[in-house]
Structure 1
Amino acid sequence: MKSYEVNFDGLVGPTHNYGGLSYGNVASQSNSQQSSNPKEAALQGLQKMKALMDMGFVQGVLAPQERPDVAALRNLGFSGSDAQVIQQAAQQAMPLLVASCSASSMWVANAATVSPSADTADGRVHFTAANLNCKYHRSIEHPTTSRVLGAMFADPQHFAHHAALPAVAQFGDEGAANHTRFCREYGEAGVEFFVFGRSAFDTRYPAPQKYPARQTLEASQAVARLHGLKDDGVVYGQQNPAVIDAGVFHNDVIAVGNGEVLFYHEDAFLNTEQMLGELQAKLSKLGGNFQSVCVPRALVSVEDAVRSYLFNSQLLTRADGSMLLIVPEECRANERVWHYLQGLTASGGLIREVKVFDLKQSMQNGGGPACLRLRVALNETELAAVNPGVIMTAPLYDTLTQWVHKHYRDSLRESDLADPQLLLECRTALDELTQILKLGAVYPFQIN
């Protein structure tokens, strides 16, 4: 049976703004308070989705969230009508209003961790929504994320959904941004690679000193247990605390994997050789041939990697078996990174082609191509069981493009977030979107 790795890209929401909310994310903090363009951001994301579809990849769409999150503001003591809640928050606690308006759900690499049926004990595809408890503006996402994923992958015969882990520091979970999977074929058993920044209970593991390590070892282990993964099919690796302190807030900012290949920076991990050896040994037992491509610090510094988001790229396998790297425009603008990439593709090695996409609106808020997609490996039967409304087609692309032009603003500044009309615009747009994507009622305003 044929299998696919489907990329479900996050659709940028109508309240896309530069709030500078993500401490440890250099791009997010550097562009704080700038004017954003939600319409351009959504269109840039859609163009990438269509381009991958046109290349022959199966491409899906993951809906954004309702923002501002009025219910979250009510939980923090604001009261009255929706408009009054927004106005009170703007007057008394503007940072809370900004957080409640964040469109960060666009980066669906953080939506969940996904294990394909070939790896799990019950033979179903498992999803665990990420609690994202390190940052308040993201910690409020998982209830809606769970409902949206449940509407996309609804058939209990094929799909299993788990609630987010306890929202405490010991189980900080950032989803697939710290998880990848190696396999010979997408439909065959593979090795799932969980990367953590610290241990909550074991002091033998060093921790960063400047920025928080968002993923704990204990959270990764809990997800592996929930998904029914075998010990022989799991490897845990620790992120280098020094690169976290350099702005590498998730592993997908310093490494990316696909198929049998790991593309990573020399300084990405601790105990790298031991970790690579374990990956190789476990994949070999499954008939695979693990291979790694290490980018030396002498050619690309960690600073250049963070600035360009070289590793926050999509590593894709074409039909002929060759590999393609999808990178943001910032990689071409960085002389050292672009020189490295030209040499990489000219060498005739594993990665044969690089394609560049303009994702400036997302990049300025700290998210590149890899942040925008959640990968789900599916066999033909499972793919047929996915809600067909969320699979990208040429007509759906045209419909969503028209929808964005109809509902999104060209410019958004922090002061605009205090306008109650923005909430009405968002709800109107999302109500229409759920009909386009055939999701049913997934947003609080549709349910309550």
Structure 2
Amino acid sequence: MPELNLDGLVGPSHNYAGLSLGNLAATANAGAVSSPRAAALQGLTKMRRMLRLGLPQGLLLPHDRPNLGLLTAMGFDGDDRQLLCSAHREDPVLVAAAWSASAMWTANAATVSPAADTADGRTHLTVANLATMPHRAQEAAATLGQLRLAFADRRHFVVHPPLPASFGDEGAANHMRLATRHEAPGVEVFVYGVNEGGRFPARQHPRASRAVARRHGVRRTVFTPQADAAIEAGAFHNDVVAVANGPVLFAHEQAFAERERLLAELAREVPGFTLVEAPAAEVSLADAVSSYLFNAALVTVDDGMALILPREAEENPRVWRWLQRVQQDAGNPIRQLHVMDLRQSMRNGGGPACLRLRIQLSEAALAAVDPRFLLDEGKLDRLMRLVERWWPEAIDPEDLGNPNLMDQCRAARAALLAELGIAEAELGQR
């Protein structure tokens, strides 16, 4: 069974507004000048690497930005240019939210349960409400439109709307699946947060996790809390400190509040369960968060498994030393380390795993995915040329009040839709 990776194409409005409380990289780089063109090219290069590893690869589209609907809902009016200028003068933080390109991190687009795990034998996707952060809460409608277009075949797919905003749901970033093979029935691990009284909010509500599992009809589930210490260290999502693939859990020792119970349950439920764990004495939580070691994309390749890592992991000597030991261990399934330059995304707090939504599909289900969302080498070449022509080279946060930037970003997105043969009306975004 192939695993489709759907990466978010970094949008032309990619900027560093520092809107995400608890995301240390995003807040540390607030106010810096971003490079949307470089960011999108880095993301496309990652997608090409996945293709060349023999993995099906697709993309999700940047959302229409700035989201003027958010500004009008907040009481601003006038034509588009007047609206943007007046809102920026009065409330630049709200305008920054309207410009946010954070839909690029498609690990937060939805939670996915493959057909092998569900009662009706179809792949289920629930769009995340992302209710905890205002700049992300606006994404759900556009994400729902894209996923319902890409996965329209009801014989294979069910795409559910987001849960009520009272219960924050952050999608696949707080969900893991373990199974002997992609096609085998698996155990789905739903990781929720608590962190009562902490500096940073816990973004995944336990009721949201249970509701998604019920909606999907998942037959084998584990619910486990994220460690408060991990959230306080900047692991705002579980995928900053843990990732799973097949029967392998790749995690930090301090990722989970109930570590021993979780590991015992997985050892009992998953044949061949394998733990690859970084001891806190060798790799601290601070090292894990700053390097995004566990936000790597862990994938199955011909000779075992491969990690797609950000450059920052290689540059941290403690992290890289531990990874080299892991790779050299004869019994370890992770045989390949692929280091990628994703600095533009990393500076906003999103690594390789943040950039992808993974979906295990049968060959028949993969053939039923709308091909406009799937990639090959030729389409990647065309997208790279399009980005080089249309995406802004740089955005300063002060530019977010400039109507000319709005016109440029709209033109860039229109060129992208034309290249892919997708009409705006099909997406249901307006």
The normalised TM-score by structure 2 is 0.97
- Give 3-state SS (helix, strand or coil) of 2:117's partner: coil
* Change in 2 beyond 3 A, CA 1:387/1:45: same
User: Aligned equivalents of 1:393 and 1:345: distance in 2?
Assistant: 30
Pick aligned residue for 2:253 from 263, 266, 282 = 266
Residue 275 of structure 1 and its aligned partner are, at CA, apart by 0.9
What is the total number of aligned residue pairs between the two structures? 429
User: Aligned equivalents of 1:239 and 1:277: distance in 2?
Assistant: 16
User: Aligned equivalents of 1:182 and 1:431: distance in 2?
Assistant: 39
CA contact (8 A) 1:208 1:245 kept: no
- Give 3-state SS (helix, strand or coil) of 1:311's partner: helix
User: Aligned equivalents of 2:40 and 2:323: distance in 1?
Assistant: 27
User: Aligned equivalents of 1:222 and 1:375: distance in 2?
Assistant: 20
Q: Percent identity?
A: 47
Amino acid at match of 2:20: S
CA contact (8 A) 1:151 1:439 kept: no
Write out the 4+ residue segments of structure 1 that deviate beyond 6 Å after TM superposition: none
Residue 189 of structure 1 and its aligned partner are, at CA, apart by 1.1
Q: 2:204 aligned with 1:221, yes or no?
A: no
Pick aligned residue for 1:369 from 349, 352, 362 = 352
Q: 2:272 aligned with 1:276, yes or no?
A: no
CA contact (8 A) 1:148 1:439 kept: no
Residue 261 of structure 1 and its aligned partner are, at CA, apart by 0.3
Q: 2:177 aligned with 1:181, yes or no?
A: yes
After superposition, residues 38-437 of structure 1 pair within 5 angstroms as 38-168=36-166, 171-198=167-194, 207=196, 209-230=198-219, 233-283=220-270, 288-320=271-303, 322-348=304-330, 349-437=332-420
CA contact (8 A) 1:154 1:386 kept: yes
Match of 1:201 in 2: none
User: Aligned equivalents of 2:50 and 2:184: distance in 1?
Assistant: 24
- Give 3-state SS (helix, strand or coil) of 2:326's partner: helix
Q: Which whole-Å deviations, capped at 9, do the CAs of 1:1-38 have from their partners, x for residues lacking one?
A: xx111111100000000000001000000000000000
Pick aligned residue for 1:29 from 6, 27, 30 = 27
Amino acid at match of 1:353: Q
User: Aligned equivalents of 1:432 and 1:114: distance in 2?
Assistant: 30
* Change in 2 beyond 3 A, CA 1:65/1:442: farther
CA contact (8 A) 2:29 2:348 kept: yes
Amino acid at match of 2:213: A
User: Aligned equivalents of 1:149 and 1:438: distance in 2?
Assistant: 16
User: Aligned equivalents of 1:442 and 1:402: distance in 2?
Assistant: 25
CA contact (8 A) 1:181 1:192 kept: yes
User: Aligned equivalents of 1:234 and 1:435: distance in 2?
Assistant: 42
Unaligned segments of structure 1, at least 5 residues: 199-205
Q: Which whole-Å deviations, capped at 9, do the CAs of 1:287-308 have from their partners, x for residues lacking one?
A: x321111110011000010110
- Give 3-state SS (helix, strand or coil) of 1:304's partner: helix
**In angstroms, what is the RMSD of aligned CA positions?**
1.3
Deviates more, 1:421-430 or 1:147-156: 421-430
User: Aligned equivalents of 1:228 and 1:439: distance in 2?
Assistant: 32
Q: Which whole-Å deviations, capped at 9, do the CAs of 1:253-278 have from their partners, x for residues lacking one?
A: 00110000001111110121111111
- Give 3-state SS (helix, strand or coil) of 1:118's partner: helix
- Give 3-state SS (helix, strand or coil) of 1:362's partner: helix
Q: Which whole-Å deviations, capped at 9, do the CAs of 1:325-362 have from their partners, x for residues lacking one?
A: 11100011111111111111112222122110000000
Residue 47 of structure 1 and its aligned partner are, at CA, apart by 0.3
CA contact (8 A) 1:152 1:439 kept: no
Residue 208 of structure 1 and its aligned partner are, at CA, apart by 5.4
CA contact (8 A) 2:141 2:429 kept: no
Amino acid at match of 2:146: V
* Change in 2 beyond 3 A, CA 1:447/1:99: closer
- Give 3-state SS (helix, strand or coil) of 1:429's partner: helix
User: Aligned equivalents of 1:438 and 1:8: distance in 2?
Assistant: 18
Match of 1:8 in 2: 6
Amino acid at match of 1:14: P
Amino acid at match of 1:432: A
Residue 317 of structure 1 and its aligned partner are, at CA, apart by 1.0
User: Aligned equivalents of 2:421 and 2:216: distance in 1?
Assistant: 27
CA contact (8 A) 1:7 1:376 kept: yes
CA contact (8 A) 2:8 2:104 kept: yes
